[in-house]
Amino acid sequence: MADFHYQCNLRDIEFNLFEYLKIQETTLGRGEFSSMDEDTARETLRGLQSLCESELAESFVSADREGIGFDGKGNVTLPEGLKKSMAAFYDNDWDRLPVPERLGGFGGPPTLCWAACEMVSGANPSIAFYGFGTFIALVIDALATTEQKMLYVENIIERHWGGSMVLTESDAGSDVGAGRASAKQIEGDLYEIEGVKTFITNGDFDAAENIVHLVLARPEGAEAGTKGLSMFIVPKFWVNDDGSLGERNGAVVTGVEHKMGLNASATCELTLGAHGTCRGLLVGGVHDGIRQMFMVIEQARMSIGVKSAAVLSAAYFNALGYAKERVQGPDLARAREKDAPRVRIIGHPDVRRQLMSLKCHAEGMRALALYAARLQDEIALLKASGQEDEAARLGQRNDLLLPLIKGYSSEKAYELLSVALQVFGGSGYVKDYPMEQYIRDQKIDSLYEGTTHIQALDLLFRKIARDGGATLLALAEEIAASAAEREGEDPLAEARSALRAAVEDLKAIFGALMGKLQQSLYHGGLQANRVLFALSELAIAWLLVEHAALAVEKGRDAKGDEKAYYEGKIASARFFCREVLPNLGASRKVIEAGALDLMELDEAAF
């Protein structure tokens, strides 16, 4: 076992990036990524692996036990161990990986950056959250006026300022358009803002000299709902015209949440305007808040999906290590022999089933996220070369995948963390091992940045409906073509057959649901989660089979650990297609038989 809780699956990350996606051919050395080659990318991953498995992972447990401090006067303090880990991250310039070279960064493509995000999130998710300021700088660089960029972009990057997204209000919850925070124009793009926001990650912390909030508020006279919202740059300390820090702004933390997990991550109530004037700058000088904020929301949603996959992968490695060491009970085949020797629990059938379930899902979630990241690579390159139409087409597929990455990964990872704990038996329930903290820290992933059902409704009524299902159909056809029967002996024949059947089940699911939606939208509400899971598991199965086909080819001449790795890839695909993919058939039957009696039931009967 490692010195600390985290072990990175660098081998599988490299397989995704360089063997399957081949970013050294499709991305690296092209356009804005022209200065990065394969050797540099691999060296980057190895360097970050070393940091994550040591200095970042070191404070994972201690920071959880110590938690944050709050003085009741707007100031949040972080555990010293966590600040030490954060300093190691910034001192080695890892925050600059996604920053373009023109802004002083390394210009890493999305594929490399999301792989890095997995590592940091797996080692210590609080650090990943506190590093959000870098992305806030990129949002401002993309959307703000020239003057706003001059004040904030370089300052955030060079001085490691923090950042947060400020949407939620207690009365509104996920209904963002019902928010009451208001904005009054003073002059030009300068506004005064009033309101109370809740559940604000990074609302305050003492490891940065300034924190830049992106706040949604409704200007005076604006229409109701989400369309009337505008987005504002609201710093903790006002930034003077020369870039220096001015007086404390009236965006003040008035409370912190006491959570079941992520105890080192500050989740705050942020009060605007009640403790001094709260000033903000209208982003870009335009009233287009919800569209602007979706740039932040979609980044956050994917990061949560990646975080869930990361913690599941970490849990798998911990469970695997324990199963290889823990000796308990005889081999089941010799259970009736009184003198049968005790064996390591990895020899027990149910433990092997549990481990393979963890392995194939962790690999599948990673594959799904990095496949989407590869689309993001290409979208960036296409936009830079003026090929907007093709970029838009790939953008629709990327948009289709985001609810899967966030919704499915966060929901399924929580379920499977219980399986990982089960491998440990009673030992998993105590704090000697990280399982209980994994479960506490990860549960929030299915709740914030839009609950699982919000992701499912987004998938069904926006991502699929907006082009009449064309993007979905194109993906299904690509999966079906990939699953077509091969001539001659095919070690993946059973998996391909299951994949073909699942494609037909998916088509039948949507055929049945489209008919039912004509009767009532309630059918969509009742079945959307099931649709999200069905499409997610089909996409993951497809990628696992694609990976396995490549592993069959590469494994012919491989030896030792490499041969074992490729055999594991093949086993993951077979197991997933045999054990998980039949879920689509069951979902098809449920959806085809769906009824509305639950919605007609008197609430007194509940």
d(CA 596, CA 573): 37
Give which of 235, 272, 236, 240 is closest to 254, Cα–Cα. 272
How far apart are alpha carbons 416 and 359 in whole angstroms? 10
Tokens of 549: 């086909």
Angle formed by the axes of helices 38-51 and 110-123, nearest 10°: 10
Pairing of strands 76-77, 190-201: unpaired
Residue 271 class from Cβ within 10 Å (0-12 exposed, 13-18 middle, 19+ buried)? buried
Phi first, then psi: give them for residue 271, nearest 5 degrees.
-100, 130
| Residue tagged active-site, from 169, 449, 537, 546 | 449
Q: Which of 533, 544, 539 is nearest to 407 (CA)?
A: 533
Six token digits for residue 529: 């989660």
Orientation of helix 409-424 relative to helix 435-442, angle to 10°: 160
> What CA–CA distance (Å, rounded) separates 178 from 567?
52
Q: Can 477 be counted among the known catalytic residues?
A: no
CB 156 within 8 A of CB 230: no
136 within 8 A of 149, measured Cβ to Cβ = no
| Helix 110-123 and helix 349-384, axial crossing angle in degrees, nearest 10 | 140
Per the CB < 8 A criterion, the answer to whether 123 and 164 are in contact is no
Residues marked active site are found at: 449
